[in-house]
Structure 1
Amino acid sequence: MDVRTRLRAGVVIPAHPLALDDGGAVNWRSQRALTRYYMASGADGVAVGVHTTQFELHHDRALLGDVWRLAAEAAGERGGAPLLVAGIAGDTVDAVAEAELAREAGYHAALMCSWGMTEVTEDALLERARAVGEVLPTLGFYLQESVGGRRLGRSYWRALFDIESVVGVKTAPFDRYRTNDVVQELIAHDRWDDVAVLTGNDDAIVHDLLTPYRATVGGQEREVRTTGGLLGQWAVGTRAAVELRDRARAAVAAGTVPTDLLALATDLVEVNGAVFDVDHHFLGCVPGVNEVLRQQGLVGTADCLGPDVLSPGQSELIASVRERFPDLLDEEFVAANRHDWLA
C-alpha cells in the first residue's frame, strides 16, 4: 500500500474506541461491531491503540495485539484496502516492539503517541520516531496538553519532517497558533508536498478541512491543505464525517465555501463539547465517546480501563445533542444496522 498517496488523497480515519463489558474485559462482539460500523460508513480505515482506544491498553501487549488483529480482520470483511494505523506508545525500545507487532498484524502506519514515555523531550520524540520509522511509516502527533500532550517548538517539526519515514502529521493541539506552527514549518520544508496533514482538532474540523496555507519559498508558490482527519470525534457520527469530508473537498474544488457548511462547523463544536466534556477540561472525553455508542446500543458500557469516567451531567448532555443533531451522530443509520454489525 502506498501510504503517502492514500493519506494525501484525503482520508476519514476514526480513532477506534475500546469496548468493555461490565467486568472490565474487552467485549469482542461490540469491538468487532464498531469496526464494521466504521467500514460501513465509508471510512478509509481505522486507528487503533490511540488515545480513544485507551492508552492503558498498552500495559498489556498481548491484549493490544489481539485488539489490533481483530480490527484488521473486521476492517477487511468488506474487501477493499482499509488503511490501518497503529497508535504506538512508550520509550523507544517498547515503541519499536509495538511497531513490529503492529506490522505483523497488517498495519500500514504508526501514529506516534507520547503516552508511557519516561521523559517527553523533543530529542527523545525524534529518536523514537527515527527508530519506529525503520519498522513502519510514521505520523507525527501534536496532542493537546489537557490530555497528556506537551508544547513542541517549530524546530521540532522541522526536524521531524527531515525524517524520510514520516508520511503525515496529525495536528490536535486544539490551538490555532500551534496548528499554524506545524503547517508553516511544513510549507517551508523541502518535503512540503510529501507529508500529509490530518486534522485532529475536534473543535475545528470544518475549518481545518477548508483552510489553505500559502507561502512563496525560493520563488515557488506553495499551498498546503489538511487532506483529511484522524479523530476521536469521528468514532461517532462516522457516516456524517465521510459526508463532511466530501462536502469540504467539493467546496475546495469549486473555490467557494457555502455558508451552510460554515454553519455546520458550529453544530459540530456543540456536539463535540458534550462528547469531549469541555465543561470539565476534557476529563470525560474517552468515556464520552463510549457513552454515545452505549446510548446507541453498540457497546454495553462507557467504562474505561483506567480512571476516566463520565463527568456529572455528561450523559444527559450527550443525550441532548443526540436529539438535537441526529444526522451528525448517524442516529438512523446506526439504529437500522447495529443488529447486523453485532451479529
Structure 2
Amino acid sequence: MAFHWSDWPDDVLVRLREGSVIPASPLALNADRQFNPQRQKSLVRYYIDAGAGGIAIGVHTTQFEIREKGIYTRVLETVADEINSWAKTEKEKYIIKIAGLLGKTNQAKLEADVARNLGYHAGLLNLATYKDANEDEIIEHCEAIADIMPLIGFYLQPAVGGIVLSSNFWQQFSMIENVIAIKVAPFNRYQTLDVLRGIALAKAENRISVYTGNDDNIVIDLITPYEIRRDNSTITLRTVGGLLGHWAIWVKGAVEILTKCNEGILDESLLSLHGKV
C-alpha cells in the first residue's frame, strides 16, 4: 500500500507548506575518506539546533557514489535514527525527512522502499538518468515511484546533468496526487516559470509547495509573487522555502534569511541581501 502525504503527522505538513530551510546534507567522512556515522549524526544535530525544518540526505550534495559503495541504506538509517532520537525528546515536533531517489524505475523503486521503511516522509526524485527518454516515459516513471511514497520533484540544471523539461511536463507531473512539493533548480528564469505555470495549470497550487534550489537567485525567488494566468483568472504562487546544498552550512543564517523574506517588507536591504547571497 502506498505511503501518502495525507498520512503525515500534521506538523510535518505544516512545516513543509509554511516554508522551511531544508539543507541538502553532505556526507560526513573520516580522515580515511570513509563514512563516519558519528560525524553524520553531529551534522544532523547541528541542522536541527540551527532551526532547519527538514533534512535531505542521499541527494546530490551527499554524493551519488554512496549507491556504488553500497552504503545508501546505512547513510539514510543513520540520519533517520538521529532525527528520531531528537524527536523523542520533543513532543509533537518533527523534522521533515527527505531521501534522494535516483536511477531508472527499478532502482528508484528500491530506494523509495528503503526510504519509506526507514520513516522518510518524501523522496526527492532526480530524473538525470532519463536524458534520452520522452516526457511521457518520464511521467510513467514518476507515477511508479509516487505509488510508493510522496514525491518532491526536482528540476536540476542541465549544466550538472539535468534535463530541460517543458511546462506541459510540469503540468502532468503536478497532476500526480502524491506529489507534495517541487524543488526548482534549473538556474534559469524561464525554466523556473515553466514549473510554476505547470503547477497552476494542473490546479495543484494548494497541494504542491514550491522550494527554491536556484543558488544564484535564492532571495529573489523567496520574495517574488509569481502571477500565472489560468482560464480567466490570475493565480499567485510563491516560493515558500529552500532545499539547497547552498544551505548545508551557515544554517542559522539561512533561517534568518528565510524569516526576513517572509516578513513581506520589500526594501533595498533585501536587494542588497540578494547580492550578498
Q: TM-score, normalised by structure 1?
A: 0.73
How far does the alpha carbon of each residue in 1:201-256 deviate from its partner, in whole angstroms, 9 at most, with x for none? Answer: 011110010000113433444210001110000001111111111111112xxxx3
Match of 1:150 among 163, 166, 186: 163
Is the contact between residue 4 and residue 194 of structure 1 (CA under 8 Å) also seen in structure 2? no
The 5-angstrom pairing of residues 1-343 of structure 1 reads 1=8, 2=10, 4-61=13-70, 63-79=71-87, 80-116=93-129, 119-251=132-264, 256-268=265-277
Decide whether the 8 Å contact of 2:101 with 2:123 is kept in 1: yes
CA drift at 1:5? 4.2
Alignment deviations for residues 117-155 of structure 1 (CA, whole Å, 9 cap, x no partner): 584542332122111111110011110112111211111
Deviation at 1:45, TM superposition (A): 1.2
1:49 aligned partner, one-letter code: G
For each residue in 1:255-275, what CA deviation from the matched residue of structure 2 results, as whole angstroms up to 9, or x when unmatched? x3121122111111xxxxxxx
- In 2, distance between residues paired with 1:201 and 1:118? 21
Would you say the 8 A contact 1:92–1:127 is kept in 2? Answer: no
Partners of 2:140 and 2:202 in 1: how far apart? 20
Distance of 2:130 and 2:13 partners within structure 1: 27
CA distance in 1, matches of 2:134, 2:184: 18
Deviation at 1:184, TM superposition (A): 1.8
Instruction: Identify unmatched segments of 5+ residues in structure 1.
Output: 269-343
CA distance in 1 between counterparts of 2:253 and 2:134 reads 37
* Aligned-partner Cα distance in 2 for 1:92–1:131: 7
Change (3 A) 1:131 1:16: same
1:124 and 1:37 map into 2 onto residues whose CA distance is 40
Q: How many matched pairs?
A: 263
Q: What letter is aligned with 2:24?
A: A
Q: Which of structure 1's runs of 4+ aligned residues deviate more than 3 A?
A: 2-6, 115-121, 218-221
What residue identity is the alignment partner of 1:261? L
Check 1:184–1:229 CA distance in 2 against 1; reply closer, same or farther (3 A cut): same
| Partner Cα separation in structure 1 for residue 268 and residue 84 of structure 2 | 37
Which amino acid in the other structure matches residue 265 of structure 1? Answer: H
Provide structure 2 residue ranges, at least 5 long, that are not aligned to the other structure. Answer: 1-7, 88-92
Structure 2 CA distance for partners of 1:91 and 1:119, relative to 1, 3 Å: farther
Which whole-Å CA distance do the structure 2 matches of 1:188 and 1:153 have between them? 13
Following TM superposition, by how much is the alpha carbon of 1:8 offset from its aligned partner in structure 2, in angstroms? Answer: 1.7
How big is the shift at 1:82? 0.6
Instruction: Report the Cα distance in structure 1 between the residues aligned to 2:130 and 2:226, rounded to whole angstroms.
Output: 32
